[in-house]
Amino acid sequence: MLSENSTESDISPKLPWLAAMAMFMQSLDGTILNTALPTIALDLNHSQLSMQAVVVSYALTLALLIPVSGWLSDKYGTKRIFSIAVFLFTLGSFTCAISSTFNELVASRVLQAIGGSMMVPVSRLALLYAYPKNKLLAVMNFVTMPGLVGPLIGPVLGGWIVDIASWHWIFLINIPIGITGLIFAQYVMPNFTRLGKRFDLIGFILFSVGLISLSLVLEVGGGETIDWGALAVILSIAVVFGALYIWYARRVNYPIINLSLFKIRTLRIGLIGNLCTRLGIGSLPFLLPQMLQIAFLRSSTESGMIMMASAIATIFAKSQVVPLVKRFGYKKVLISNTVILAVVISMFALPDKTTPIFLLIPVLLVYGCVNSIQMSTMNTIALADLTPDVASGGNSLLAIMQQLSISFGVSVGALILRSTESASWLTGGEIGMSFKATFVILGGMTLLSALIFTQLKSSDGDDISGHK
């Protein structure tokens, strides 16, 4: 049973802005870091092509702890848990800023992710509880738009900071934003609770071990040297614990990941589509700045400025999502948009170090538009048929799948890059050719993911989009 001291009319109209602030902090942190990774690698005496752990550790921690955030917010209240989350995220940003070794930075990113794992999901859950279904698409779209300012300024700000100062400063800018958000939350965030569930510790352990092992498989496989024996052992652990969790989750009342939610067809298609489509999308913000700096010898500021084009297009396209879906329906939009997305990702294989950098702008503009449409439509179709009783579980599943896809996307992208780099028959040992081959492969993977959305019905999502 949902409990909150205030009535629906008492919900602050500023609540969507608070959720947008949380998304802004996360998006700024992710995009500002990508352009700085090559410089951070040099400063920490680490391989420039092996920095994915800084990104993967954050995304994987998010995926692991998001189910805990749903249970914590239901038990102790959205306001309390959101406040703790913002504090931990801000503290983690500070420890990242004072890191002096690669391992310290990775550990600090884990701390930062502990806060992030609760910050965005809890704010989104509060919106699901506060607003009726017929207002959900508009509210979610509004919340995402202010958060897109992070990707707009993040790449160029990150590149500019590392060129003129120290990379440590890219984390310090989160601190005043976090303090503001923490104060803001005390006046705006309602304290929704939903009692009656126990925390599934056994399920959490099984799920975590299986997921961490699967991620390690990708990390070991993408290393400079591959220990095939260790790889086989880790893969076996991932398979065993994954199977154990599936067996266990079907036999308890409140598993930490409720597999029965996959019976909701639109949620299932939205989740699988998120995972598969984002394998290409999730790795591109990580790979493209590296290609520009490592292979094309561009500065951090140049690579950051060129990435702004996609962020600008993303913001513009957000306003077109509702009219598009209302006119054509979710199925047609998702299938056609995924195909376009695959073609655009493959087009990043066309330039080389002699290509004028401004010629990338049209491709990035198109990428930003189709990426924006893809994210909004996939997320809302996944939530379209959730009732209040399963809203928390469905919201957590969506957030988990999003972070898993980012983690796996970066790991898969790094794995493909390492594989093509070692395939001298394909690339001739030239790092630029390795990046080109990687983008073509990622585009092909994205194209195949369009098949997932063919499982949608033409009428799916019509009750929230107004399509007839």
pLDDT tens, residue by residue, 116-171: 888 887 888 888 777 776 676 677 777 776 666 777 777 888 888 888 878 888 88
pLDDT for 8: 47
For the ranges 12-16, 231-235, 264-268, 302-306, the lowest mean pLDDT is seen at 12-16
Same domain, 186 and 205: no
Query: What pTM, to 2 d.p., does this model score?
Result: 0.78
- Sign of the torsion formed by the C-alpha atoms of 239, 276, 278 and 354: positive
Whether 1 maps to a domain, the answer reads no
pLDDT for 90: 92
Is residue 37 within 8 Å of 414, Cβ to Cβ? no
Q: Which of 218, 236, 255 delimits the end of a domain?
A: 255
Same domain, 250 and 270: no
Query: Angle between the 102-130 and 391-422 helix axes, to the nearest 10 degrees?
Result: 150
Same domain, 171 and 75: yes
Mean pLDDT of the region 10-31: 78
3-state secondary structure of 37: helix
Whether 336 maps to a domain, the answer reads yes
How far is the CA of 141 from the CAs of 137, 144, 377, in angstroms? 6, 5, 10
How many distinct structural domains can be found in the chain?
2
Reported as a single tens digit per residue, the pLDDT across 379-417 is: 888 877 777 777 767 777 887 787 778 778 888 888 888
Same domain, 288 and 419: yes
pLDDT confidence band for 244 (50 / 70 / 90)? very high
Residue 159: CA count within 13 A, CB half-sphere: 22
Whether 6 maps to a domain, the answer reads no
Res 56 pLDDT > 90: no
Q: What values do phi and psi take at 422, rounded to 5? A: -80, -15
Is residue 383 within 8 Å of 395, Cβ to Cβ? yes
Give the Cα separation of 376 and 386 in Å (integer).
Answer: 16
Whether 4 maps to a domain, the answer reads no
Same domain, 338 and 443: yes
Same domain, 82 and 208: no
Torsion of CA 7, 10, 16, 19, to 10 degrees: -70
Whether 125 maps to a domain, the answer reads yes
Q: What is the DSSP string of 262-304?
A: GGSHHHHHHHHHHHHHHHHHTTHHHHHHHIIIIIS---HHHHH
Same domain, 94 and 242: no
Reported as a single tens digit per residue, the pLDDT across 105-130 is: 989 999 998 998 888 878 888 887 77
pLDDT confidence band for 7 (50 / 70 / 90)? very low
Same domain, 183 and 237: no
Same domain, 208 and 262: no
3-state secondary structure of 194: strand
pLDDT for 170: 87
Averaged pLDDT score across all residues of the chain: 81
Whether 182 maps to a domain, the answer reads yes
Same domain, 157 and 225: no
Give the Cα separation of 141 and 326 in Å (integer).
Answer: 14
pLDDT for 468: 61
pLDDT for 9: 47
Res 227 pLDDT > 70: no
Six-digit token pair at 419?
Answer: 């594989």
pLDDT for 10: 55
Same domain, 315 and 422: yes
Res 426 pLDDT > 80: no
Residue 420: CA count within 13 A, CB half-sphere: 22
Whether 456 maps to a domain, the answer reads yes
pLDDT for 44: 86
Range of the domain at 234: 201-255
pLDDT for 6: 44
Same domain, 172 and 229: no
* CB burial of residue 189 (10 Å; 0-12, 13-18, 19+): buried
Reported as a single tens digit per residue, the pLDDT across 294-353 is: 888 888 888 888 888 887 888 788 778 888 888 888 888 899 999 999 999 999 988 888
Is residue 385 within 8 Å of 267, Cβ to Cβ? yes
Q: Residue 314 is part of a domain; what is its CATH number?
A: 1.20.1250.20
pLDDT for 139: 75
* Distance in angstroms between the alpha carbons of the first and the last residue of the chain: 34
Whether 5 maps to a domain, the answer reads no
pLDDT confidence band for 91 (50 / 70 / 90)? very high
Res 263 pLDDT > 90: no
